[in-house]
Amino acid sequence: MAAASPATLNEVVIKHRSSLHPRPDVTFAYGTAGFRTSADLLDSVIFRVGLLAALRSKKLGGKVIGVMVTASHNPEKDNGVKLVDPMGEMLHSSWEAYATQLANALSAEALIAALQQIILAAEIDLTVPATVVYGHDTRPSCPGLVKALEDGLESIGVKGIAAGLVTTPQLHYLVRCYNTQGTKEAYGEATLEGYYQKLAAAYTTLAKGRHLLPALTIDCANGVGAPALKAFSSVISHDILPLIITRDDTTTRGALNSECGADYVKTKQQAPPGTTLVPYQRYCSYDGDADRIVYYYADDKGVFHLLDGDKIAGLVAGFIMDLVKEAGLELEVGVVQTAYANGASTEYLTNKVPTTCVPTGVKHLHHAAESYPIGVYFEANGHGTVLFSPTALSTIASHPTPSPALANLQAVTEVINQTVGDALSDMLLVETVLLHRKWGPGEWDAAYTDLPNRLVKVFVKDRYAFSTEDAERKVVTPEGLQAGVEAIVGKTEKGRSFVRPSGTEDCVRVYAEAATRELADGESTFSRRRALNEAKQAND
């Protein structure tokens, strides 16, 4: 057991160390993706995140807290940081304001005062020893920022466990493993080796004896997914999982997320330049921190088809429902989506399973998925996973009648990273379903046809002038905007459109879909102009 820490903050040390990490003249906000901005502005923020992570661990009785330094799909010059709570979930939203408060304290004295306020407000016992595990992606700015984090941890008397270069979902996995080891909820061995072995064992169970599919080509966004995938492929037989790893250059400056990766493919609706799509072969793209994945393929006419998070949700939910039934279990499967889910996917899913729509951001989806015995959640952009409730897990584990379906279901609970969306683990799940169904991408895609859609960014003076309700499907302010959107949508076949302020960029996003490409484009152009006009009025 670690020795108890002193009951008070060492203010001299914190002030001194803080002066080595001066705060730039910028206002920071802990948003959906934690703090994320240009890397050269983040040194002070990350130092202070070290302090906050230590307090969070103390508050939770010494549970291990995670800190991940990454800016996901953002350009290489950016960076970011987010905290991970004990079961591997996102930082509880009640603490986001504390993070913002610390990041914005104007001086070393103000920082101490903010810390004291948080200690008081959250009733934190400083004598509780804290543990923080931290990791980072491949950005060149990471080593310096990790140093700032370590300074923060040291100045509050916490040593920290360095996980090194990891994908975001690996860090989430490690946090959960540390906090559950030795309990009946033990999640796995708290090492990267443990992570790879767990996934490899589960996938081998699911794949063995099946007819192999042709190799899958993976675009790793020139990010941390590349070394992770290579490490994984070295522990699993190539006969079980033939892979072609591309965009794995993590050393050339500027390569990360540049014209590749899940965000590029989803936004541009095209494969990374230079990729020759062999008809009906499977391709997928990870994002820069490997917590998102999209699949795609070309048909025999060379037309590109995207298999995004919605398609993955449909594929996976159907498969799990079938396994549950075949195993003779009664466990409800539910699906959680956001307003971005294509209307065709929502129609397809609601005819099969209970579905819920929640605001954008993993924490909302994760939370809603927890209310189902088996909750499948995916954002259209490829963030997602499957959660099995403790009751579902014990029902599966204790079912008296063994069957192949039961064994497969059990392995599915192991192959999926239940802490957060995980490109590598999601990929294994998709591959599993395709193997079992004997499907290529064309058969998978046949479930429904996406409605043509457009997503545009609108730069406005004040995105905070925009507020929404009904899981972001209705814009409340600026007043009158929703009525304008509805007037047009009402006249459009299969029309749907919404306007929401971005949580990660200084802009407003406008989504529109309709029965035809022409209609969808027309609507989004209209909505964008309209949003712009309204925004201007709101800001005048």
Q: Whole-number minimum distance, CB 293 to Mg ion, in Å?
A: 10
Residues 457 and 510: their CA atoms lie apart, in Å, by: 6
Q: Binding of Mg ion at residue 76 (CB under 5 A)?
A: no
Q: Which of 72, 141, 345, 524 is catalytic?
A: 72
Determine if 291 is a binding residue for Mg ion (CB under 5 A): yes
Is 291 assigned a ligand-binding role in the annotation? Answer: yes
Tell the burial category of 189 from Cβ atoms under 10 Å away from its Cβ (0-12, 13-18, 19+).
Answer: middle
**Choosing among ligand 16G, Mg ion, none, which partner's interface includes residue 341 (Cβ < 5 to 8 Å by kind)?**
none
The smaller minimum CB distance to ligand 16G, of residues 384 and 441, is found at 384
Cβ contact 29:100 at 8 Å:
yes
Which residue number is nearest to Mg ion in terms of Cβ?
A: 72
Query: By C-beta, is 37 or 155 nearer to ligand 16G?
Result: 37
| CB of residue 44 to ligand 16G, shortest distance in Å | 23
Q: Which of 287, 426, 431, 534 binds Mg ion (CB under 5 A)?
A: 287
Return the closest-CA partner of residue 478 out of 454, 455, 462, 489: 462
Whether 503 has a binding-site annotation, put simply, is yes
Q: How many CA atoms lie within 13 A of 334 on its CB side?
A: 20
Q: Which ranges constitute the DSSP H helices of 192-292?
A: 192-207, 225-235, 261-268
Q: Which stretch binds Mg ion (CB under 5 A): 50-58, 71-79, 323-331, 514-522?
A: 71-79
Q: Which is nearer to Mg ion, 287 or 379 (CB)?
A: 287
For residues 406 and 429, give the distance between their C-alpha atoms in angstroms, rounded to a whole number: 16
Measured between alpha carbons, how far is 528 from 384 in angstroms, rounded to an integer?
29
The answer to whether 422 contacts Mg ion (rule: CB under 5 A) is no
Check the annotation: does 287 bind a ligand: yes
334 bridge partner residues: 375
CB 145 within 8 A of CB 41: no
The binder of 289, among Mg ion, ligand 16G, none, by C-beta within 5 to 8 A per type, is: Mg ion
Q: Which residue has the tokens 């950005």?
A: 139
Pattern 292-331, Mg ion, x by CB under 5 A: x---------------------------------------
Q: Quick one: which of 5, 72, 104, 355 contacts Mg ion (CB under 5 A)?
A: 72
- SS3 readout for 304-316: EEEECHHHHHHHH
Contact (Cβ atoms closer than 8 angstroms) between residue 381 and residue 340: yes
Residue 25 burial class via C-beta count within 10 angstroms: exposed 0-12, middle 13-18, buried 19 and up: exposed
How far is 459 from 505, CA to CA, in rounded Å? 9
Shortest distance (Å) from residue 250 CB to ligand 16G: 21
Residue 379 as a binder of Mg ion (CB under 5 A): the answer is no
For residue 501, say whether it is annotated as part of any ligand binding site.
Answer: yes
CA distance 173 to 362: 16
Contact 131, 175 (CB under 8 A): no
The answer to whether 72 is a known ligand-binding residue is: yes
Q: 355 a known binding residue?
A: no
Choose among Mg ion, ligand 16G, none what residue 505 binds, the Cβ cut-off being 5 to 8 Å by kind: ligand 16G
Which lies closer to ligand 16G via its Cβ, residue 33 or residue 519? 33
Nearest distance in Å: CB 320, ligand 16G: 22
228 — phi, psi (to 5°)?
A: -65, -45
* Residue placing its CB nearer to ligand 16G in the complex, 332 or 505: 505
Binding site for ligand 16G (CB under 6 A): 32-33, 360-363, 379, 381, 383, 502-505, 509
CB of 97 to ligand 16G, least distance (A): 17
Asked whether residue 289 is marked as a ligand-binding residue, the answer is yes
The backbone region for 495, taken as left when phi is positive above 0, alpha when psi lies in -120 to 50, beta otherwise, is beta
Q: What is the rounded distance in angstroms from the CA atom of residue 288 to the CA atom of residue 193?
A: 21
Nearer to ligand 16G, 389 or 502 (CB): 502
- Residue 78 known to bind ligand: no
Active site residue 345: no
The answer to the question of residue 78 lying near Mg ion (CB under 5 A) is: no
Q: Which does 360 bind (CB under 5 to 8 A by kind): ligand 16G, Mg ion, none?
A: ligand 16G
Nearer to Mg ion, 157 or 503 (CB): 503
Alpha helices in 359-439 (DSSP H): 362-369, 390-398, 404-415, 423-437
If the CB atoms of residues 86 and 223 are measured against Mg ion, the closer one turns out to be 223
- Please tell me whether 509 is known to bind a ligand: yes
Distance of closest approach, residue 62 Cβ to Mg ion, in angstroms: 29
Bond into 478 cis (ω within 30)? yes
Report the alpha-carbon distance of residue 47 to residue 70 in Å, rounded: 15
Indicate the annotated binding residues for substrate: 379-381, 500-504, 509
Indicate the annotated binding residues: 72, 287, 289, 291, 379-381, 500-504, 509
Residues with a known catalytic role: 72
Residues that bind Mg ion (CB under 5 A): 72, 287, 289, 291-292
Indicate the annotated binding residues for Mg(2+): 72, 287, 289, 291
